[in-house]
Amino acid sequence: MSSELGGGCMELMKNLGRDEILEILSQGLCEHCDATLLTRIQETLAQGRRDENMSFSNKNTTTKYEEFQSTHAKPTSQGSKKTSESVSWKRQDGLGSNSSTTPYNNTKRSAFRQLESDKTIVIDFGLSEDEELIRFQRVGRKKDLCLIERINGKPKNVLQGLELHTQVFNSEEQKKIVDCVLELQRKGQNGQLRERTYSEPRKWMRGKGRVTIQFGCCYNYAMDKNGNPPGIVRDEKVDPLPPLFKKMIKRMVRWQVLPPDCVPDSCIVNIYDEGDCIPPHIDHHDFVRPFCTVSFLSECNILFGTNLKIISPGEFAGPFTMPLPLGSVLILNGNGADVAKHCVPAVPSRRISITFRKMHPNKTPYMHILDPQLSRIKPLEISPSRKPQLDEDEQKSKTHRLSKKRSYF
Q: How does pLDDT run across 78-109, given as a tens digit for each residue?
A: 333 333 333 333 333 332 333 334 444 454 44
Residue 278 pLDDT: 95
Residue 102 pLDDT: 44
- In 10 A of CB 65, how many CB atoms? 21
Residue 21 pLDDT: 72
- List per-block mean pLDDT (blocks of 10 residues) for the chain, which spans 409 residues: 53 68 64 60 54 40 59 44 34 35 45 39 67 95 97 98 98 98 98 96 70 97 86 96 97 97 98 95 98 98 98 96 98 99 97 99 95 93 68 58 50
Residue 109 pLDDT: 45
Q: Strands (DSSP E) along 167-288, which ranges?
A: 198-199, 211-215, 218-220, 231-233, 266-272, 278-281
Residues 6+ apart with CB under 8 A from 70: none
Residue 397 pLDDT: 60
Residue 125 pLDDT: 78
- pTM to 2 decimals? 0.69
Residue 222 pLDDT: 85
Asked if residue 201 lies in contact with residue 270, where contact means CB atoms within 8 angstroms, the answer is no
User: How far is Cα 343 from Cα 278, in angstroms, rounded to an integer?
Assistant: 5
Residue 18 pLDDT: 67
Left if phi > 0, otherwise alpha if psi is -120 to 50, otherwise beta: which for 295?
A: beta
User: How far is Cα 401 from Cα 393, in angstroms, rounded to an integer?
Assistant: 12
Structural class in CATH, domain 129-406: mainly beta
Residue 96 pLDDT: 36
End-to-end CA distance of the chain: 62
Residue 33 pLDDT: 66
User: How far is Cα 231 from Cα 217, in angstroms, rounded to an integer?
Assistant: 10
Sequence ranges of the chain with CATH classification 2.60.120.590:
129-406
